[in-house]
Amino acid sequence: MGGGASVLVIKGADGVNIGDDMKIKKKDKFLLIKSKGGSLKRVNRETGDKIAIHELCVRIDDIVTIATKLDDNDCLMTLRNGIEYVMDEVDNPDEIFDIVKKKMMQNEDDEAKPGLKFKDFGRGYTWAESKRLARREGGRLLTMDEAKQLLEEQGCLCDGEDAWAAVINPELDDGKDWIQVGNSCHEPGTAHVEGFGYPGWGDNDEDEESYHRFVMYWDYD
DSSP labels for 100-117? HHHHHH--SPPP---EEE
pLDDT at residue 87 is higher than 90? yes
pLDDT at residue 8 is higher than 60? no
- Weakest mean pLDDT among 37-46, 102-111, 159-168: 102-111
Query: Collapsing DSSP states into helix, strand and coil, what is residue 56?
Result: strand
Residue 166 phi/psi, 5-degree rounding, is: -70, 140
Residue at 181: amino acid letter? V
Burial 142-175 (b: 16+ CB within 10 A, else e): bbbebbbebbeeeebbbeebbbbbbbbbeeeeee
Residue at 140: amino acid letter? R
What are the sequence ranges of the domains in the chain?
14-105, 115-219
Q: What is the pTM of this model?
A: 0.58
- Weakest mean pLDDT among 2-11, 168-177, 195-204: 2-11
CB of 190 within 8 A of CB of 182?
A: no
Q: Which CATH number fits domain 115-219: 3.10.100.10, 3.40.1080.10, 3.40.109.10, 2.60.40.1180?
A: 3.10.100.10
Mean pLDDT of the chain: 87
Residue-wise pLDDT tens digits, 56-78: 999 999 999 999 998 899 999 99
Identify the band that residue 11 occupies on the pLDDT scale cut at 50, 70 and 90.
Answer: low
CATH topology of domain 14-105: PH-domain like (2.30.29)
Environment class of 119 (CB within 10 Å of its CB; exposed 0-12, middle 13-18, buried 19+):
buried
pLDDT of residue 49: 94
Residue at 41: amino acid letter? K
Q: Is 83 or 111 the better-scoring residue by pLDDT? A: 83
pLDDT at residue 4 is higher than 60? no
